Structure 1
C-alpha cells in the first residue's frame, strides 16, 4: 500500500460540503483508504486573484493506486464536484493535490511529488503537521517552515 498525504480546499458556495463530498468520494473508492483527517482551517487566498477565503484540510490515505492513477481519480472527483479550470489560482469548488506519495520524488508535466508549493503554503503546512506521523521524514523541516510562514501575510485559523 502506498502512503499519501492529500490537500483539499474549497472557496465557492458551500465550502464545507465540497470538502465532505470529496472525502466521501475517496472513501467510496475501494482502492483508497482514508486514515486521518486534519481539522478544517479557514485561510486567505495566496494569489492576487480577488476571491473568497478557502476552507482547507489535509488527509492521510493509503492506496493501491500508483501516483498517476491516483491523480486520475482525483481529477474525476474534482470533475464530479464541478471543478472548473478557468483561471489559474482562481476560485474553485474543490482543489485536491497530492502532497507526498510514499517518499517518492517525481517530476512530470502533470505531477510533481513532493508538491512544489508545500513549503510556501501555511494552509498546507499547519494541517499536515497536525496529522503527520512522528516518524514522518520531513517533520522537523515542516515545523521550521511553518515558523517562517507565520511571519507572512497568509492568514489561517481553525474553522468550526
Structure 2
C-alpha cells in the first residue's frame, strides 16, 4: 500500500435502538466526514432479524464503501468513536445497539490482529451484510478470490427485507 494512496474499505452498518433508520442514515453522513475519508457509495437500507438473542427489535442494516487514506487501525478507531457518539453501549454480546459499524474489507488485505480481523470473520454467514454488499459492489471478490455475488445469492433466503426510501 503506497503511502497517501486511497484505499477502498467496506463498512457494515446496523442499528436496532433509538430510531434505527435515522441512526444508520446519520452514520452514513458521518462516515463521509471522517478524516482523510469520503463516502464513495452506500447500499439501500434493509431490515433484518437480530443475530443471537431474539428478545430485541429487528435491525436496520446497510453497507458503505469508503475511499480513505486512513490505515485499517486508524479507520477502526474512527468507527468506534462514531459508535460512541451515537451512544453505543456494549452490555450484551449480540445485544441491542444504537449503532454497530464493522470494518468488513480493506482493499484486498487480510488482517489478523488482537483488535481487528479483516475480512470480517462472520460476514460470509450474514445475509444482512452480503446482500447489501453485493448490491453495492456486485463484482467484488474476497481476498481469497471468492466472489461476493454468489455468496449473497446463497443468503437471499435469510430474513432480510429492503426498506422503502
Instruction: Give the TM-score taking structure 1 as reference length.
Output: 0.92
How many Å apart are 1:32 and its aligned residue? 1.1
Indicate the residue corresponding to 1:158 in structure 2: 162
1:144, 1:34 → 2: CA distance?
Answer: 25
- What does the per-residue CA deviation read over 1:97-151, in whole Å, with 9 as the maximum and x for residues that have no partner? 00000000001111100000111000000000001153x2248632332333345
Indicate the residue corresponding to 1:42 in structure 2: 47
Bigger relative contact order, structure 1 or 2, given CA contacts below 8 A and separation 6+? 1
Q: Does 1:31 align with 2:36?
A: yes
Indicate the residue corresponding to 2:123 in structure 1: 118
Q: The residue matched to 1:19 in structure 2 has which SS?
A: helix
Instruction: Give the TM-score taking structure 2 as reference length.
Output: 0.89
- What does the per-residue CA deviation read over 1:17-71, in whole Å, with 9 as the maximum and x for residues that have no partner? 1112212222222311101110000011121341100000000111010000000
Q: Does 1:96 align with 2:112?
A: no
Q: The residue matched to 1:128 in structure 2 has which SS?
A: helix
Q: Which aligned pairs between 1:66-77 and structure 2 lie closer than 5 A?
A: 66-77=71-82
Indicate the residue corresponding to 1:58 in structure 2: 63
Number of aligned pairs? 157
Structure 1 residues 133 and 33: alpha-carbon distance in aligned structure 2, compared to 1, 3 A threshold:
farther
Gaps of 5+ in 2: 1-5
Gaps of 5+ in 1: none
**8 Å CA contact 1:49, 1:89 repeated in 2:** no
Indicate the residue corresponding to 2:147 in structure 1: 141
How many Å apart are 1:79 and its aligned residue? 0.3
2:131, 2:18 → 1: CA distance?
Answer: 24
